[in-house]
Amino acid sequence: MRSGMAQRQKTATAGHDELRERIVDAAIALAERDSWEAVRLHDVADSLGVTLDEVRRQFREKEDVVDAWFDRADAAMLRESEAPGFRELTPRERIHRLILTWLRALAPHRKVTRQMIYGKLEPGHVHILFPGLMRVSRTVQWVREAAHRDAAYVRRALEETGLTTIYLMTFFHWMTDDTAGSEATGRFLDGWLGLAERLDRAVYGTPRGGAGEAPPPPAERSAG
């Protein structure tokens, strides 16, 4: 009996997740045809053949769809952190790969992504600006976790501030980057991470979980 209930719950959860993803896909598709500003949730519901209340059960408002879109990029980034050989990279290399993976997840709909961000920055949208800042902080924290950065106290605070600045500068650079494979963005990011690495060494000397930390020697890796 318990196994039957568990199976029904699992099926219901899968259905919930599937509808949620379909709503995001439909909203993005509508935005590609017109603009993100023009997207209305009732149009999303009509395009999927579901009720507006079914959409509401998944998303309280349109801005929650934006969060779900960026959650996909977070998930892609965290999957990359599990790739073979990832932990053998230096922290600078890890962060570079993670941020570029995050951006590549958004790349198929770069124009819509840009419209989402510009919409958040409009003067009349102050009510979504603070949640937007929290969204940035959340992604940066996941970058730090995936890169295995372990600095604490003042060094952690400085590291977070620097990484947040680099992440935002790179994001805005990427939004208007028309080079093949966003190569210019990759170089831009690498340059700023290199500067952060040098500053970290200048202030703290011996690296400890910071941008200048080198991977362990081969003997230590095999011992682990």
Position 32 scores a pLDDT of 98
The predicted-structure confidence for 122-141, as pLDDT tens digits, reads as follows 766 656 666 777 889 999 99
The predicted-structure confidence for 31-89, as pLDDT tens digits, reads as follows 999 999 999 999 999 999 999 999 999 999 999 999 999 999 999 999 999 999 999 99
Q: Using CA atoms, how far apart are residues 138 and 17, in angstroms rounded to an integer?
A: 21
Position 223 scores a pLDDT of 38
**Do residues 77 and 143 lie in contact, with contact meaning Cβ atoms separated by under 8 Å?**
yes
Q: What is the pTM of this model?
A: 0.84
Is the pLDDT at 217 greater than 50? The verdict is no
Is the pLDDT at 26 greater than 50? The verdict is yes
Domains and CATH numbers, the chain: 1-59 (1.10.10), 62-209 (1.10.357.10)
Is the pLDDT at 213 greater than 90? The verdict is no
Position 207 scores a pLDDT of 58
User: In a 10 Å sphere around its CB, with 0-12 CB exposed, 13-18 middle and 19+ buried, how is residue 153 labelled?
Assistant: exposed
In this prediction, what percent of the chain has a pLDDT beyond 70?
81
Q: Using CA atoms, how far apart are residues 54 and 12, in angstroms rounded to an integer?
A: 14
Position 49 scores a pLDDT of 98
Nearest to 116 by CA among 61, 69, 170: 69
Position 114 scores a pLDDT of 96
Helices (H) and strands (E) in the chain, counts: 10, 0
Position 132 scores a pLDDT of 73
Q: Using CA atoms, how far apart are residues 40 and 61, in angstroms rounded to an integer?
A: 10
Nearest to 200 by CA among 192, 191, 209, 212: 212
Indicate the average pLDDT of the chain: 88
Sign of CA dihedral 91, 97, 101, 102: positive
Find the helix or strand (DSSP H, E) in which 87 lies.
none
User: In a 10 Å sphere around its CB, with 0-12 CB exposed, 13-18 middle and 19+ buried, how is residue 201 labelled?
Assistant: middle
* Average pLDDT value for residue range 93-98: 98
DSSP-H helix ranges across 81-181: 91-106, 110-120, 126-146, 153-175
Q: Using CA atoms, how far apart are residues 171 and 98, in angstroms rounded to an integer?
A: 13
Position 126 scores a pLDDT of 58
Position 111 scores a pLDDT of 97
User: In a 10 Å sphere around its CB, with 0-12 CB exposed, 13-18 middle and 19+ buried, how is residue 155 labelled?
Assistant: middle
